Amino acid sequence: MKKAFSLILVFLAVSTIAFAQKGVIKFTKESHDFGKVPQGSPVTYTFEFTNVGTDPVVISNAQPSCGCTTPDWTKSAVLPGQKGFVKATYNAAAMGAFNKNVTVVSNAERSSIALNLTGEVVAKEAQSTAATTPAADKSKKKGTR
């Protein structure tokens, strides 16, 4: 009887340890669309998260999918209930649509989380021309009257 009781206690202890909740990262959002970005103008977005678990979360790395994206993140432990961040800056050098990832690696329950950045890099001239065209059209109309 003692052996059976001991085995049950050991099983319960192992089960409790195995299923104990770790730190859990909950991002406000895991993707961001910058829309149209002028070429050569870096853009930055800060992904915010809360540790909704029971243990501290430590981000060990934030790895971008290419050299055109630079990450920064909360370097200290994020205690349960506290907030942290992962900031990603895209340099917007190459024209066209982009879809970049920053993979966050931590000791959290979900140890790897991919954050996504999207948008479209457009020529500065095209953007500034589009912004000034209506004004230019009005001045031409005034001059011809």
Domain that holds residue 37: 21-128
**Cα dihedral 33, 37, 39, 44 sign:** negative
CATH number, position 50: 2.60.40.10
Residue 117 located in a structural domain: yes
Q: From 98, 100, 112, 104, select the one nearest 74 (Cα to Cα).
A: 104
Q: How many domains does the chain have?
A: 1
Residue 108 located in a structural domain: yes
Residue 35, token pair as written in the block: 């829309």
CA–CA separation, 98 vs 19, rounded Å? Answer: 40
pTM for this structure?
Answer: 0.73
* Chain centroid offset of residue 76 CA: 17
Between 145 and 63, whose confidence is greater?
A: 63
CB 108 within 8 A of CB 99: no
Tell me: the pLDDT tens digits for 99-123?
Answer: 999 999 999 999 999 999 999 999 9
Residue 7 located in a structural domain: no
Residue 143 located in a structural domain: no
pLDDT of 145 higher than 50: no
Beta bridge partners of 99: 118
CB 65 within 8 A of CB 100: yes
pLDDT band at 8 (very low <50, low <70, confident <90, very high): low
Residue 134 located in a structural domain: no
